[in-house]
Each structure stands twice: as C-alpha cells, then as structure tokens.
Amino acid sequence: MPELKTTFAHPDVPRQSSWLSEPCVDGIEGFSTDGERPALAKFHAPEIVFGPHSLGELGHCARRVGGRRPFLVTDPGLAEAGWVREAVRHLIDAGLRPVVWQDLTPNPKEREVQAAYAEYVNTGSDVIVAVGGGSCIDAAKGVAILSGNGGRILAYEGVDQVVNPIPPLVMAPSTSGTGADVSQFCVVTDTANLTKVTIISRTLVPEISIVDPRLLTTMPDWLNAATGLDALTHAMEAFVSLAHNTLTDHHALHAVHLVTKNLLGTLLDPTGEGPRIAMAQGSLEAGMAFTNAILGVTHAMSHQVGGLLDAPHGVINGILLPHVIRFNAAADPSRYVPLAAAAGIATEHAPADEIADLLAGRVRELADSVGVPRSLAALGVGEHNVTHLAETTLKDACLATNPRAATRTEIEALLRSAM
C-alpha cells in the first residue's frame, strides 16, 4: 500500500504567524500575553486521513466504525471516472458488502434524499459512505438524518433540529471546496419553493474524512473553479464571522493563502501534484474553519440563488463575495487586513478600508482568471427575483453570524450590486 502523508504541511506555505497583526504565543494566535484569560474556543473535527492514495483506507475506516453493509452514496460522474469502482474494491477487500446509490443530481433535491433513504432501509445498510463532491456528501448526511430521526428531510431546517443519533459517516471528497466532509452542515434543495434548506447540527460532522488529492484530478474545469471559490468563501466568511475563534482563524487564514496561490495552477496543470495537494488542504482547512465559526451573508444569499436556478454554488459565491466584503468592511474593515495579507496583498502603511477594497478586487481577479461570470444576471437572475431572494435570505441560518447586520433593504441592494 502506498505510504500515506501524515502531516498537513506543504512546502510552499509560510508559517502563519507572519500573517497576523495579533500576538502569537506558542503558535496560538490571539491569546493574551498580559495574564488575561483567553476566550473559550471550541473546535469540532473528524478523524482525517490525508494524502495521495488515502482512498485505499476506505474499507478499513468503514469497518472500524462498525460497517458490515456500507451504503455508498456517489454520482454517475464519479462512476465514469473510475473512483466508484476503486472505492467498492477497497470496501470488498475489507470484508464488507457495499450497496451503491448514485441516482443524484447536483444540488441534491429533497426527493433524491428520500429515495436514497428508502433504498438504505430496503437493503439493510448500516454505515454511510460518500465518495464525491458536496452534493453526494450532503445527500449521504440526509440519509443519515432520516435513518436516526425519520420524517421528511426538509423538516430539519435550521440549527440543532437533528436530535437523535445517526449512523456513522465516512466521507471521501472528490472536489476541493465544499468542506462537507468535515462540516456540521447539510444543504438540500427544496424544489417546491425553489430554495435551499440549511441543516446545521454537530451530529452531522462525519466520523472520518478521507482526503485523497488524486480524486480532484478528474473534476471538470468549471467544477474545479467553482469549488475552489467556495473554499475561499468559506475561509473568508469564517474569519470575519461573529463566531470565529483563535482555532478557526488559524485554518481560515491558511486556507486563503493556499487557495489564492494554487487554484489557477490546478486549471493550468490539472495533474500537477503540488497544487492539487495544496488545494485539497485548503479545502479541508476552510471546511474546519467554517463548520466551527459558521458563515455569513454571502452563503445566506448564495443558497437562495442556487435554489432558484440550480446553479453551481461556488460560482454564485465567487460573484457575491467581493460585494459582501465591501458591505461588511463599510462597518469595520479591520478583520479583512490579515485576510488580505494571507492572499498576498501588501498591507503595510495602508488604511484598513483601502486594504479591504483591494481584497475584494483580488477575489474578483481570481474569479475572472478561472472563468467565473461577473454578475448574477449572467446566471439568469433578474430584477423580478430580488424581493423573493431577499426574503428567503433573511431566513437562512448563515446570516446570524455575519459581522454586520443586514436588513431586507440592504440584502436587496447587495443582490442588485451583484447583477
């Protein structure tokens, strides 16, 4: 078996302490040096197996958490790329009898989750495994929710509505951006109301995440770009979130550095190992940051646009994020200074508001370089959609941790600015 990497270090990544304006004591940023007790920080993450060929651990991991008949959630694209065949082989080699479910579309719909759950019950499956992008992982989490709690998946919208234990989850992401493999989030499309339902619960953090950068090499370019910008948005929104702490800050800043430096390289050289490993790590760290710090108004709006249009989530984030940076910075730009430094922007001798504006421009430049449209209108959003999108944004759980309170009128203005 190939040797697995046991460290998250990457040769191109500088030590993070140089990016922060706050003091660093024993490697922990922001802790007081004057004897004052630091704020309590909580951090929840799965066991992580990281590195090329780590998918080979899938069978052992599923068996270790109690699997005998694992339910493997994936999609036709992963099957065509050969990853499902490899995953099934690893599960069988570990003495397991997997059931494969791949009747999924991007942005999983509530009916698809309900159908997958019915198959899970009918086949007597136990541990739930996902090999795929965020859609596969969200669908797998949806099956787990229903297995432990019953009912309809849309009924679990909001925070801490999943009250009963769920089956163990083992996830192997095939994209470098969603962070679903380490997060407490599950996002499902409500097709009747043309929106996305966000489910947040600590029970949804998987037991094990297997991050094999090889799986990233078969993404189409548009998905590579979209998920990379999603990771960047996760990291930036986590860093400025009202719920951030010193532990999430570390991963958020590191992720920003990795994504801004390596995303374009993965498009120019899709099989290059260095950029792929860096993006896999960037996605992972951004996921660990946002699952603990939560997100902000970019995601709150993006969920609504994605539900309306069934459009790629990361593409929508790439369009919205520069506008949200400027909106938040108008109230307090200070948190965007270390983010700008992590993105490679010189921050010495410049006021914070100018640095935040430069950061917004840098995000837009990166989105341009990977081919993301410049406006929501290019995706099909029109003036007639604005009121509905603003109303549903106000109900999204991600809005609660945005650093600047946003009214309906301000959300409408943000949406129009991005059109």
282 within 8 A of 176, measured Cβ to Cβ: yes
Name which of 185, 175, 189 is nearest 230 in CA terms: 175
User: Strands 169-173 and 208-211: what pairing?
Assistant: parallel
pLDDT tens for the chain, residues 1 to 419: 333 332 333 333 333 332 233 323 233 333 333 445 557 888 999 999 999 999 999 999 999 999 999 999 999 999 999 999 999 999 999 999 999 999 999 999 999 999 999 999 999 999 999 999 999 999 999 999 999 999 999 999 999 999 999 999 999 999 999 999 999 999 999 999 999 999 999 999 999 999 999 999 999 999 999 999 999 999 999 999 999 999 999 999 999 999 999 999 999 999 999 999 999 999 999 999 999 999 999 999 999 999 999 899 999 999 999 999 999 999 999 999 999 999 999 999 899 999 999 999 999 999 999 999 999 999 999 999 999 999 999 999 999 999 999 999 999 999 999 99
CATH number of 220-417: 1.20.1090.10
DSSP 3-state assignment of 158? strand
**DSSP notation for 298-348:** HHHHHHHHHHHH---HHHHHHHHHHHHHHHHHTT--TTHHHHHHHTT---T
Residue from 301, 271, 282 nearest 386 by CA: 301
Residue indicated by tokens 């390289």: 265
419 burial (CB, 10 Å; 0-12 / 13-18 / 19+) is middle
- CA 225-231-233 angle, to 5 degrees, is 100
* Same-fold call for 47-215 versus 220-417: no
C-alpha to C-alpha distance for 115 and 71, rounded to whole angstroms = 13
User: Is the domain 47-215 a CATH 3.40.50.970 member?
Assistant: no
What tokens appear for 53 in the block? 């060929």
pTM above 0.95, yes or no: no
In angstroms, rounded to a whole number, what is the distance separating the alpha carbons of residues 401 and 245? Answer: 13
What is the distance of C-alpha 36 from the center of its chain? 34
- Least Cα distance to 21 among 362, 350, 334, 240 occurs for 334
* DSSP labels, 180-212: TTT-SEEEEEETTTTEEEEEE-GGGS-SEEEE-
- Domain spans in the chain, listed from the N-terminal domain onward: 47-215, 220-417
- The CA angle 158-418-176, to the nearest 5 degrees, is 60
Confirm if 153 and 113 have CB atoms less than 8 A apart: yes
Measured distance CA(235)–CA(238) in Å, rounded: 5
